[in-house]
Structure 1
């Protein structure tokens, strides 16, 4: 489904990775540079790749975004909800950054955002974007 009005839904399979702080490295000459950790970068690239398969052109107006993250249940997990692993806001940030320029022109267009964490198999994120 390739549309720019209405709603688009898709699922990205893989263990979700929260947005990590950029790492700073000093070069031998004393200058420093920042980079995104590999796991975060790979997860964001996967989300962007799947989004490109579903979306021809980014949404241009205000949008509602719903992100439902499905995390693997730990072997000793007794809680019905994943309360101890990954902050929902950091999971959301990695997905939003991946969709910036792919699903939306700019993440400032997101006027309504819902983020959920659940246990699920397969692990991944269900993404729903609706033009308002």
Structure 2
């Protein structure tokens, strides 16, 4: 079983949680992007991976070439001879994509348990046993994601 989907727009990295005296919360930009990833993923895949199934995730993050670059430098970027070494970091891109494929949960204060609001494509990102994140330049910024069963090669 394999899932392929594309998130249009510039890649976003996972931001640190914010802490106040009374509560810890996820920044709004991070929460919105995770919701976009979840929506795109579940519309591309109607099922859900088994709870104990090891998964292989490949993430290709494509950044737009800066407009200030010369034509020569832009050509180098588009031919992958120059790679993006800018924010967001590859590990933060991986974290936000994998968290976005998790089910959306919320604590029910009445029964003191976590309740699922929106399903994900797997039960938890702990199922991911192989992860590859690459950053490249492209004419159109996007993030392409492939999730499949890890064959253990």
TM-score range, shorter chain: 0.7 to 0.9
Q: TM-score of the superposition, structure 2-length normalised? A: 0.73
The C-alpha deviation readout for 1:50-93, integer Å capped at 9, x for no partner, is 11101223212111110001112223455621112221000110
The number of residue pairs the alignment matches comes to: 122
Preserved CA contact (<8 Å) 1:69 1:126: yes
Which protein shows a greater Rg? 2
| C-alpha distance in structure 1 between counterparts of 2:139 and 2:122, whole Å | 28
Partner of 2:86: 84
**C-alpha distance 121-43 of structure 1, shift in aligned 2 (>3 A):** farther
The counterpart of 2:25, out of the listed 32, 35, 40, is 35
What are the within-5 Å matches in structure 2 for residues 1-132 of structure 1?
6-26=1-21, 32-60=22-50, 61-77=53-69, 78=73, 80-101=82-103, 102-132=120-150
**Structure 1 residue ranges without an equivalent (≥5):** 1-5, 27-31
**Structure 2 residue ranges without an equivalent (≥5):** 104-119
Q: TM-score of the superposition, structure 1-length normalised? A: 0.84
Preserved CA contact (<8 Å) 1:16 1:43: no
Name the stretch that deviates more: 119-128 or 90-99.
119-128
Preserved CA contact (<8 Å) 2:8 2:141: yes
RMSD: 1.5
